[in-house]
Amino acid sequence: MRKAIADARSISRILTVGMLESLRKKGYKFVQVKGITVDNHYDYTEPSRLSLVPNRELPTREEQRDIYEPLESELLQHWAEHPEDGTLVVVAGTK
């Protein structure tokens, strides 16, 4: 798991309005929201940053359910427009 976090972190980019539009054009409709702590563990209570993992559709299997946000959400738009407001938000797996 730590290797997966490190790999995702190494190719992550800060969320921008342009990146949201690029994800839409590539056919993504949702992002999975992952909270990551200072010591690189997944945690939603005290994250040092949020990592957004692009998805084209929501999972149907119970064990894959997690926190997802549609790309069209006002929350994502706000995070993209105001990166200085609080927690760092990055998009994982983007080059």
Average pLDDT, integer, range 55-64: 88
Q: What per-residue confidence (pLDDT) applies to 65?
A: 82
pLDDT in tens, 32-59: 999 998 888 888 788 889 999 999 999 8
Please state, in angstroms and rounded to a whole number, the distance separating the CA atoms of residues 18 and 45. 29
Q: What are the sequence ranges of the domains in the chain?
A: 2-91
Q: Per-residue pLDDT for 9 more than 80?
A: no
Q: What per-residue confidence (pLDDT) applies to 1?
A: 46
| Arithmetic mean of pLDDT over the chain | 85
Alpha-carbon distance values, 80 to 3, 4, 30, 60 (Å): 27, 24, 15, 28
Report the predicted TM-score, pTM, of the whole model to 2 decimal places: 0.79
Specify the pairing of strand 49-55 against strand 88-91: parallel
Q: Per-residue pLDDT for 3 more than 80?
A: no
Q: What per-residue confidence (pLDDT) applies to 2?
A: 52
Please state, in angstroms and rounded to a whole number, the distance separating the CA atoms of residues 12 and 53. 10
Q: What per-residue confidence (pLDDT) applies to 10?
A: 56
Cα angle for residues 87, 38, 92 (degrees, 5° grid): 65
